[in-house]
Amino acid sequence: MTDTPFIVTLKLNARLQPEHRHVLFEDPLEGLLEGATLGEIVGGGTALTDDGEVEYGDIEVALNNADDLPKIIALMDQLGAPKGSVVQRAGAPDEAFGVTEGLGLYLNGTDLPDEVYEQYDSNELFEKIVANIEGVGEVCSWWQGPTETALYLYGSSFDTLNERIAELVATYPLCQGARVVRTA
């Protein structure tokens, strides 16, 4: 153990609201750090686009020993960190980690006929998506922007997630004009 902590930033390629980042990543990481006396979380944040959509989140960790970094990366992968995530530390190149792929389903929030918004429930759509991706992924977060609402799905395969929701996206009235984007 050193007298000076080894500071790293875990930059998560995940479009997660702060509370979802805490539940999915920070709380389990904090438990490991405290339980094994490896260090502590000393900060974190959320980067937003100009529209207010989450671009990525980060977690700043003070490790007691630099040799414990592989344990932290392994835990983040176990927790389902998205591909394209990186560890950042002073004096070293970014180190990639992450195992899951992400899909953003962007629903048109302004241009559909009024009766579609009146007759169809976004909660019902959410439940249908959850049922369709059961066993291959999960809806981890969402965002409501000025003209769109996004649902962020993460799983082992973007293609599988996309296949599982394709019929629903093609037929459910609230999905008219929706777009699907690979997020990780």
Nearest to 160 by CA among 102, 113, 121, 106: 102
Question: Taking 80 as the threshold, does the pLDDT of residue 4 lie above it?
Answer: no
Predicted confidence at residue 1, as pLDDT, reads 46
E-only strand ranges, the chain: 6-12, 39-48, 54-63, 85-89, 92-97, 101-108, 137-144, 148-155, 179-182
Q: Is the pTM higher than 0.85?
A: yes
Q: What is the mean pLDDT of residues 99-128?
A: 96
Contacts of 37 (CB under 8 A, 6+ apart): 64
Question: Taking 70 as the threshold, does the pLDDT of residue 3 lie above it?
Answer: no
At 13, which amino acid appears?
A: N
- In this structure, what token pair is assigned to residue 18? 């702060």
Rounded to whole angstroms, how far apart are CA atoms 112 and 117? 7
Average pLDDT for the chain: 96
Rounded to whole angstroms, how far apart are CA atoms 122 and 170? 15
